[in-house]
Amino acid sequence: MKHLKFSLLTFCIVFATACKNDKTEADITENNSEQTEVKAPDTASKITIAPLTDSPAYADAKLRLDTPETMAISEVGEVDFDFTLDNYVLGDQTDSPNAQKLANSGKGQHIHFILNNQPYSAHYEPNIKKEIPVGVHHLVAFLSRSYHESVKNDNSMVVRKLVVGENAEDTQGLDMSAPTLIYSRPKGTYVGKDAQHILLDFFVLNTELSESGHKVKATINGEEFMITQWVPHVVKGLPMGEATINLQLIDNDGNAVPGPFNSVERTVTLKEE
């Protein structure tokens, strides 16, 4: 009888333990599933920007245009812009590892020609012909490395006001001596490895960027970044497809600096191949 009681007791303990173990394994499996779902890595791209380094400075490079600061052009049509350069060679590949990391022009170094803060045209010869419509326009041209980073010094750019046609009306109202932001990059379509590191670059006129002064607020796909130094940046983590970039010149209080060019938005496209 004692043996029967002992066997029955042993069976109950073993059965209860087995039931408990089965339940525990089920609970663990369920809990792990829930935990994995909560801690699953975010597959969305994380956008970052960081200053670009390792570019030759070209501190003594010069771009010149032998015209008055205000160019009066009586006849509407094609206008000749005959630039001259010192200490800079158009068509050369810029000697920098950035030429392999960033989208790079196979035609080499060039001039970014920007009219009314619209997307630039790239020119690999110093003599440029442009159709300029009637009206008052503002030209900013500057030297560019082969991977489209602007050369930033006191002599690397040209700023001109173009008055085309008789009684041309100034609809922009730009004060060319006021703080002004000129957009350069990103631009166009980026494919393959070129979409991994994207250059963010701009020109600032008549001001300096600082922690306690003017800044550039970059809004990239809705994410805001504050730029307090006039240096190029590299954008990483952009998802494939269309990306929207807005650059705005602001003061130390976060207010927009007045000026028709001081807030600009562009759309670029990223493709796998």
Q: What is the token pair recorded at 4? A: 């029967």
Kindly state whether residue 17 falls inside one of the protein's structural domains: no
Would you state the pLDDT for residue 167? 85
The DSSP code for 118 is P
Residue 203 has what pLDDT? 97
Place of tokens 């807030």: 263
Residue 56 forms part of a structural domain: yes
The residue among 216, 148, 154 whose CA lies nearest residue 182 is 216
Q: Is residue 146 part of a domain?
A: yes
In a domain, 10, yes or no: no
Q: What is the predicted pLDDT for the residue at 27? A: 38
Residues 93-96: contacts with CB within 8 Å, 24+ apart? 93/146, 94/55, 94/56, 94/145, 94/146, 94/147, 95/56, 96/54, 96/55, 96/56, 96/145, 96/147
CATH number at residue 150: 2.60.40.10
Give the HSE-up count for residue 158: Cα atoms under 13 Å, Cβ half-sphere.
Answer: 29
| Six token digits for residue 15 | 């059965």
C-alpha angle 8-9-13 in degrees, rounded to nearest 5: 120
- CA 210/CA 202 separation, integer angstroms: 15
Q: Is residue 32 part of a domain?
A: no
Position 170 in a domain: yes
User: Would you state the pLDDT for residue 44?
Assistant: 55
Confirm whether 114 is domain-assigned: yes
Tokens for 73, please give them.
């052009």
Q: What is the pTM of this model?
A: 0.83
- Per-residue CA distances from 258 to 112, 211, 251 (Å): 24, 19, 10
Nearest to 263, CA basis, from 241, 251, 246, 240: 246
Residue 13 included in any domain = no
Q: Could you tell me where the beta strands, DSSP code E, fall in 126-237?
A: 127-132, 135-144, 157-164, 180-185, 189-191, 198-205, 215-220, 223-227, 233-236
Full domain range(s) for residue 137: 49-271
How many separate domains does the chain show? 1
SS3 216: strand
Q: What is the maximal distance between C-alpha atoms in the chain?
A: 123
pLDDT in tens, the chain (273 residues): 444 344 444 443 434 444 434 433 333 333 333 333 322 334 455 999 999 999 999 999 999 999 999 999 998 889 999 999 999 999 999 999 999 999 999 999 999 999 999 999 999 999 999 999 999 999 999 999 999 999 999 999 999 999 999 888 898 889 999 999 999 999 999 999 999 999 999 999 999 999 999 999 999 999 999 999 999 999 999 999 999 999 999 999 999 999 999 999 999 999 998
Could you tell me if residue 206 is left (phi over 0), alpha (psi between -120 and 50 degrees) or otherwise beta? Answer: left
